Structure 1
Amino acid sequence: MGVIIRLLLFVAAPVAALFVARDSLNFQIAQVFFAMMIFIAVGVIAAFWAGGKKT
């Protein structure tokens, strides 16, 4: 579980850096926000991918 969280935060850091300076106090909050958005997006894509193959 820790590996998945670290991977999400690793991916979310550059995205958060586009909107918030890394030196800002709010950077970690923005990083967690974008990590959650990435996690939700992957979940939604997986749900639609699995649900769309009903034949």
Structure 2
Amino acid sequence: MVFTLAGYATGEHKDVPDARSKAISFHESVTAQLDKLSLLRTVRVLTRR
């Protein structure tokens, strides 16, 4: 079984936007999204039963 970070963290299958060749503000928003997904993933792993 293969999971994406977003799929595992939220249960939704959606892609993280590609920040390549985008403005720095776009990079910052993608980084914030990845930070949130990483935290959600950690919570999910730690609360598994």
Q: CA RMSD in A?
A: 1.3
Q: Which runs of 5+ in 2 are unaligned?
A: 1-17
Q: Which residue of 2 aligns with 1:35?
A: 31
> Which structure 1 residue ranges, 4+ long, deviate > 3 Å from structure 2?
none
For residue 32 of structure 1, give the secondary structure of its aligned residue in structure 2.
helix
Q: What TM-score, normalized by structure 2, do the two folds share?
A: 0.57
| Structure with max Cα Rg | 1
Larger RCO, structures 1/2 (Cα 8 Å, 6+ apart):
2
Q: What TM-score, normalized by structure 1, do the two folds share?
A: 0.51
Deviation at 1:33, TM superposition (A): 0.1
Q: Could you give the per-residue CA deviations for residues 11-43 of structure 1, whole angstroms, max 9, x where no partner exists? A: xxxx312xxx44xxxx11100000000000000
More helix by share: 1
Number of residues paired by the alignment? 32
User: Sequence identity, in percent?
Assistant: 3
